[in-house]
């Protein structure tokens, strides 16, 4: 990725404007630009625009940065020169936060697509956790298909490759986050999460669940050019920085209100910026974002996948980090990017639920509304029609729907009794497979 251009020193340009008696022009243009909701541009992109109000493009940029600087507030995250990172809530941020508050806290828009129905909730939860585990791994270079990831987790088989192990680690971590969501963030908890996401995947196993040391030369470089994109703080500064991060996450010693979603996003950025580990920082940062969202009772975060959306345009994700770091520590670039990612994740979840419900309902209608199949059996039959060579186990069905072993066994044996599945053995476990003419038997 190309390193973004460093913006002009806006303070110098502003001083020159004041001396020339043009301060009002600067103030007017900065005020007008700050009211826009369609863009929040870095100099890298803004420099291609035309100047405004009789100002040059450099002067226009200075007016914008002045307006942003006057509205910004500092947080406790400091850069390498001990300068604080800052942010302010734009009009666009307020709009998206309102949507997130509405949906993630149980708004009617969620119940309309049936997520809160107990009979389907667990299935969507498992599917969403698998999706986040897969795409978070793919962001870090794992080569695993969606069907391979689902089978890996459904069958709970030992990972065959380091890439599969990364997916399984992420899956287990996401399940863990739901268990520890009420715990305060501590250095020990951060290490636990890192150990969980990296187990068996790092070049040096001794670095699993351990903060990096001075002997570790950690820098972020562009894969193609080798250009250094980010140099994190020195290892000896990590203890104090991690302590400050935990204070921020736990809201200790904080005056005033900070929206929990903003706090969660900043926590994501903070881990990535400090880069406290030799490897696995991105996975840990995204995991702690989820921990923070769940801790603040945004329950829908268990069901949507930000990595799924980030993976659609990963360069925009990494560019948001760079834009923040290269433009006066302005966190708005990363905050706005992540707010849009969260909103897109919620939309994707809603569309996924509508599609799945539609498919199951269509099959139910073909079979007859009085067919007696429950929603788990219908989901399995739908899958079997698409994958006639698939195989199913009690433990796999149990994992797919987060149900008891006995319930899973009852589901499968009932389908066997109705002549839709055949039974065999693999080792000590029973394996169920679709009968050869499943479509004909179902009239599908």
Q: Is 35 exposed, middle or buried (0-12, 13-18, 19+ CB in 10 A)?
A: exposed
Predicted pLDDT at 109: 45
- Rounded to the nearest 10 degrees, the angle between the axes of helix 162-180 and helix 118-139 is 130
Q: Any residues with CB less than 8 A from the CB of 197 and at least 6 apart, and which?
A: 166, 169, 170, 173, 280, 283, 284, 287
Both structure tokens of 168: 């399984």
Torsion of CA 273, 231, 144, 424, to 10 degrees: -60
Give the residue from 109, 123, 98 showing the smallest Cα distance to 339: 98
Q: Whole-angstrom Cα distance, residue 398 to residue 254?
A: 44
Q: What is the DSSP string of 46-94?
A: HTTSPP-TT--HHHHHHHHHHHHHHH-EEEEEE-TTSPEEEE---HHHH
Contact 11, 18 (CB under 8 A): no
- Which element (helix H / strand E) includes 425? strand 421-426
Enter the tokens of residue 302: 């268990």
pLDDT of 119: 54
Tokens of 345: 């994740």
For residue 264, the SS3 value is helix
Give this prediction's pTM. 0.85
**Could you tell me which residues are beta bridge partners of residue 431?**
424
Question: Helical H runs in 327-442?
Answer: 332-367, 375-386, 394-401, 405-417, 438-442
SS3 call for 387: coil
Give me the residue spans of the domains in the chain: 10-71, 77-351, 373-442
List the CATH code of the domain at 77-351.
Answer: 1.10.3290.10
Beta strands in 186-280 (DSSP E): 220-221, 228-230
The pLDDT of residue 115: 54
Q: Are 267 and 274 a contacting pair, CB within 8 Å?
A: no
Closest to 285 measured CA to CA, from 298, 296, 269, 307: 269
Was domain 373-442 assigned CATH 1.10.10.10? Answer: yes
Q: How many CB atoms lie within 10 A of CB 10?
A: 24
Q: Which stretches of the chain score pLDDT less than 50?
A: 107-113, 116
Query: According to the model, what pLDDT value does residue 21 have?
Result: 80
The confidence score (pLDDT) of residue 117 equals 55
Residue with tokens 């803004």: 46
Q: Tell me what pLDDT residue 118 has.
A: 54
Beta strands, E only, 199-344: 220-221, 228-230
What is residue 178's predicted lDDT score, i.e. its pLDDT?
92
Cα–Cα distance for residue pair 180/176, rounded to 1 Å: 6
């Amino acid at each position: 990725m190309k390193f973004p251009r460093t913006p002009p020193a806006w303070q110098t340009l502003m001083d020159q404007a004041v001396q020339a008696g043009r301060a009002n022009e600067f103030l007017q243009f900065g005020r007008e630009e700050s009211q826009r909701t369609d863009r929040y541009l870095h100099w890298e992109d803004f420099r291609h625009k035309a100047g405004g109000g009789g100002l040059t493009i450099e002067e226009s940029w200075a007016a914008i940065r002045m307006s942003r600087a006057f509205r910004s507030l500092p947080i406790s995250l400091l850069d390498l020169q001990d300068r604080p990172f800052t942010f302010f809530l734009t009009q666009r941020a307020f709009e998206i936060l309102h949507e997130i508050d509405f949906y993630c806290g149980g708004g009617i828009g969620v119940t309309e697509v049936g997520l809160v129905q107990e009979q389907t909730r667990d299935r969507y939860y498992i599917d969403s956790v698998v999706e986040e585990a897969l795409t978070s791994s793919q962001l870090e270079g794992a080569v695993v298909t969606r069907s391979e990831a689902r089978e890996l987790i459904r069958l709970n088989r030992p990972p065959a490759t380091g890439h599969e192990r990364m997916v399984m680690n992420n899956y287990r971590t996401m399940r863990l986050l739901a268990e520890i969501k009420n715990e305060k963030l501590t250095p020990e908890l951060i290490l636990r999460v890192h150990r969980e996401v990296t187990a068996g995947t790092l070049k040096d196993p001794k670095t699993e669940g351990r903060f990096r040391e001075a002997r570790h030369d950690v820098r972020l470089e562009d894969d193609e050019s080798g250009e250094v994109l980010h140099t994190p703080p020195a290892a000896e500064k990590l203890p104090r920085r991690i302590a400050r991060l935990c204070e921020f996450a736990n809201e200790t010693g904080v005056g005033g209100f900070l929206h929990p979603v903003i706090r969660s996003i900043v926590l994501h950025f903070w881990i990535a910026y400090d880069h406290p580990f030799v490897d696995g920082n991105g996975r840990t940062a995204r995991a702690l974002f989820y921990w923070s969202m769940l801790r603040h009772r945004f329950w829908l975060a268990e069901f949507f996948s930000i990595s799924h959306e980030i993976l659609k345009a990963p360069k925009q994700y990494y560019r948001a980090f760079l834009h923040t770091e290269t433009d006066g520590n302005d966190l708005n670039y990363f905050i706005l990017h992540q707010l849009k990612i969260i909103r897109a994740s919620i939309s994707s979840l809603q569309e996924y639920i509508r599609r799945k419900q539609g498919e199951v309902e269509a099959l139910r209608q073909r079979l007859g509304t009085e067919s007696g199949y429950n929603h788990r059996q219908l989901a399995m039959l739908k899958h079997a029609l698409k994958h006639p060579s698939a195989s199913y186990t009690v433990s796999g069905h149990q994992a797919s729907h987060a149900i008891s072993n006995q319930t899973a066994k009852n589901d499968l044996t009932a389908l066997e009794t109705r002549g839709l599945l055949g039974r065999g053995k693999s080792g000590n476990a029973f394996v169920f497979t679709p009968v050869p003419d499943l479509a004909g038997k179902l009239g599908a």
